[in-house]
Structure 1
Amino acid sequence: MPHFYDTCSGPICGLYLPPGVWDVLHRENIQTLDQLRVSADQLEQFDGISARMAQVIRQALAHVAPSEEQTASTKQHESWSA
């Protein structure tokens, strides 16, 4: 599905969201992936996050593996290439 907004990386590594979303997350003091995951069900309550944008954020979260999964995946791929 095409999207009609620009995305950029922000303070949460591996997550690309529209600049306005980063502003809202900063204002809400959400600075980590874990903090964002905890707040995912409440995104529409943040001033500046529409229902559609909340859906976009949740989709982006679904595509970002937790750091321990990324580490395990990297180690597995390294052993395959040995």
Structure 2
Amino acid sequence: MPRDEVKVPGFIADLCLPARAWEVLRRENIKTLSQLRAVADQIERFETIGRKTAKVIRAELARKTSPDRQPSDEGPFLSPWGA
């Protein structure tokens, strides 16, 4: 597997992305899950992010924000059904 395709942890908790993706997010000053969610639709417009890397970022974002996981940069999840 080429080095750019190996997923590694980075500065957004619990995300594992290719090193190239982390470099772009750092360059674009995207430091939180909320910021990444806000630009996910346009991520391939960033220089050096292609369709394949954008797809990997979106898949990892979907994994991280699935209903059974608690987003770590937005505080505790409070269920409307109980305490």
- TM bucket normalised to smaller: 0.7 to 0.9
Q: TM-score, normalised by structure 2?
A: 0.75
C-alpha spacing 1:70/1:51, structure 2 compared with 1 (3 Å): farther
Q: Which residue of 2 aligns with 1:56?
A: 56
Distance 2:16 2:51 in 1: 18
C-alpha spacing 1:63/1:69, structure 2 compared with 1 (3 Å): farther
Alignment of 1:3-82 (within 5 A): 5-65=5-65, 66-67=71-72, 71=77
**Identity value in percent:** 46
Cα deviation 1:9-36 (Å, max 9, x = unaligned): 0000000001111000000000000000
Structure 2: gaps (5+ residues): 66-70
The letter for the 1-side match of 2:22 is W
**Would you tell me which structure has more helix in proportion to its own residues?**
1
Distance 2:19 2:61 in 1: 16
Q: Which residue of 1 aligns with 2:68?
A: none
Distance 2:58 2:76 in 1: 19
RMSD across aligned positions (CA): 2.5
The letter for the 1-side match of 2:10 is G
Distance 1:40 1:70 in 2: 23
Distance 2:62 2:29 in 1: 21
Count of matched residue pairs? 73
For residue 50 of structure 1, report the CA deviation from its aligned partner. 0.1
Q: Which runs of 4+ in 1 moved over 2 A?
A: 65-73
Distance 1:70 1:49 in 2: 32
Q: What SS class does the counterpart of residue 13 from structure 2 fall into?
A: coil
